[in-house]
Structure formats: C-alpha cells, structure tokens
Structure 1
C-alpha cells in the first residue's frame, strides 16, 4: 500500500505542477491543462483457460482525471480511479463447486496518450497500474474463508475514446485488459469494459 500512496501522491503533484506550468507558459494550442472528475459503469469479466464458464459482473468506477496538452492534437492524461471488478463463474474447475463469485476492487491508475481526431473527439491508449484494495469470494452462495486468492497488483493496458464539449462535460468508452494473472498461479486475466461521463474544470 505504501507504493500505491507514493504513486497517487506523485500523480497529484504532477497534475498540480502541470496546470501551473501550462497557465504560465506560452503554447500553440487553445487547450489548457485541466483536472476533473469522472465515473461510470463497469462490465467486468476475465479471460483465460484455467476457469469454467464465466459471466460478467456489473459495478461502478469513480475518480479523478488530469490532462496535459502537449500539442494541438496530442495530450497526456493520468487518472486515479476506484474500480469495482470481478466475475461470476459456473462450475469453477479450480474450486470443485457449482458456482462462485469473485468481487475484486482496485485502485486503477491509467497513464494515457490522447490523440484528437477532430475538435472534442479523442482516442486514447496507454498502460494501467492496478492495486487490489478489497477481495471477497462467494462459493455456492456462501462467503469463503479464503480471501487472499487474487494477486495484489495487476499491470495492463487501457484503450478507448472520449467526446468532450466546450463546457468541459465529456462521455467515454474504454476497454481495460490485464497482463497479470488475477488468481495466483492461473491463466486468468482481467477484462473490463467501461462507459461513463465526467467533467473537467
């Protein structure tokens, strides 16, 4: 958790410094650095061979976003998000049960490159660092005593699209895919589709 605190603090300091520098310096674009809030719906699941038939779970994400324009059509964007994830599985081969539910909550920190195709509309992609903050496993409808099955850290990628109005309101869709095994010593990866709205100041 110390590494998570240092990372979040660093991103917040970077955002504040970037906004100050952007407001003080001359630049060639009419876009300025901004901070904002965002939130929306998660449709989370997993991919991999070491599991039975899975179904997606619907949850939410919410957090802060900061954008630093570097050119007329290019920006860097960093976010700190609380993200409810997990999956449902029928006949889980690892547990020998009829069904199981994995409820996994993360702090996600995506760092994205954004390219504006036209005014207000951008495509974005980049790495995402995810830190598990909560885990709950239910097997055949009852909470399991084994609550430390999932890895504490997940490294992945995030990619999506955003449309933002001149007033700062924006809507987005994004897909996140993890490269780290969700459950220890298994081939199971996070796969999350997100849609949401936000506002940049």
Structure 2
C-alpha cells in the first residue's frame, strides 16, 4: 500500500510539472457490473452473481508520440459480487481506490482504444463470512481480503469536441483477492478469486 501511495504522489507531482496546454484534465463517473471470478467461494457453496455499483474519480491525459497518449486515473470503485445459498443472500462489497494507467490509441478523431494496468488498494469490505466461532454472519469482512489488487483493463472511449466523453472498459483481475481466515482456531484458504468489473462511464475533460 505504501508503494502505491508513493506512486500516486510521484504521479501527481509529475503531472503538476507539465504545462496545462500539453494535457487534458477531467472527471468521470459511471456504472460498475462487478463479479469475482476464480475457482472457489465460501467452500463452493451457493451461486455467484454480478453486483451493480459505481465508480467516480479524476483523470489526466498526456499526449505521447503520434496518435498515442497515456491516461492515469484516480478512482473510487465499488466492486464485489452477489452471493446466494438457499434463503441466504448477501452482496459482497469490495471498495477500492483504483489507479488505472491506460495507454490510448486514437483510431479516428475523438475515438480511442485503451489498455493498461489497474492497481488498487482495498479500503472497505462487507459481506457474509464465517467468524471465529464458526457462525455465518454479515458485516465488516476486510480481514478476509487482501489489501492490494491488480487488474488489466481494456476498452474504448469517444470524446466530443465540447469535452464530454463516454467510455466502456473491462478490468480483468490478475491477483487473488482472498486472504486466509481462521475458524475455531483452524486456518483456512478459501481458494483463488479475482475481482472483475465491466464499467460504463461518462465524463468531461478540458
């Protein structure tokens, strides 16, 4: 987490050193359709569905050579999944501070394809889990998930001349989000799951 915060600080310092006419600044917000992919969840019990939530934050776009540019972002992204088993059913809420670093290629004026890494720090987790007594409860679950995450994002954006833009992006999880947990004194490994999210965004840049 300290390394990510240092990266953000260096990035912001670098961006403020660039002349304003050389890059665009903006803000964006939109819809998340998130899920946890992988091989296990709650011991394989129940069924998994997507969780609909949101993301919001800011960005800068820095021109590179030719039709290429780089777009670092700082987002608050609410992810997770919907889990159900019999009469039980709860959303697992995983809230991240995300730092996407997208390389963009302009196919035509206004329309760009983008891809790049998406780093994240977990700031909040809520869901259904087994506590130390072996009871299935719902509440703060941050200790059951790892604090750092990484995804790979790919998508496309279209920007109008007035500065309004729209984008679609899919972020594929690269790391296991699960942390080992203890129930009745025994340590368990809940398997490997990755946080995946499809995003639809709208924003403004100048």
Same fold (TM over 0.5): yes
Distance 1:98 1:158 in 2: 33
User: Deviations along 1:25-52, whole A, 9 cap, x unmatched?
Assistant: xxxxxxx411111110100001111124
Q: Contact 2:126 / 2:140 at 8 angstroms: preserved in 1?
A: no
The residue aligned with 1:196 is 201
Does 2:172 match 1:177? yes
TM-score (norm 2): 0.83
The residue aligned with 2:40 is 50
The residue aligned with 1:60 is 54
User: Deviations along 1:117-175, whole A, 9 cap, x unmatched?
Assistant: 00000000011111101111135995246541011011120110000011111000000
Distance 2:69 2:136 in 1: 46
User: Which segments of 5 or more consecutive residues in structure 2 lack a partner in the other structure?
Assistant: 130-134, 180-188
The residue aligned with 1:28 is none
Distance 2:68 2:161 in 1: 17
- Classify 1:5/1:145 alpha carbon distance in 2 versus 1 (closer, same or farther; 3 Å): closer
User: Which segments of 5 or more consecutive residues in structure 1 lack a partner in the other structure?
Assistant: 24-31
Say which structure is richer in strand: 2
Shift in Å, 1:178:
1.2
Distance 1:65 1:141 in 2: 40
SS in 2 for 1:170: strand
Q: Contact 1:100 / 1:141 at 8 angstroms: preserved in 2?
A: no
The residue aligned with 1:111 is 101
Distance 1:169 1:137 in 2: 36
Give the count of matched residue pairs. Answer: 187
Q: Contact 1:129 / 1:154 at 8 angstroms: preserved in 2?
A: yes
Moved more, 160-169 or 133-142: 133-142
Distance 2:141 2:126 in 1: 9
Distance 1:131 1:172 in 2: 23
Shift in Å, 1:181:
0.7
Aligned positions of 1:115-130 closer than 5 A:
115-130=105-120
Shift in Å, 1:75:
0.4
Does 2:80 match 1:86? yes
The residue aligned with 2:148 is 153
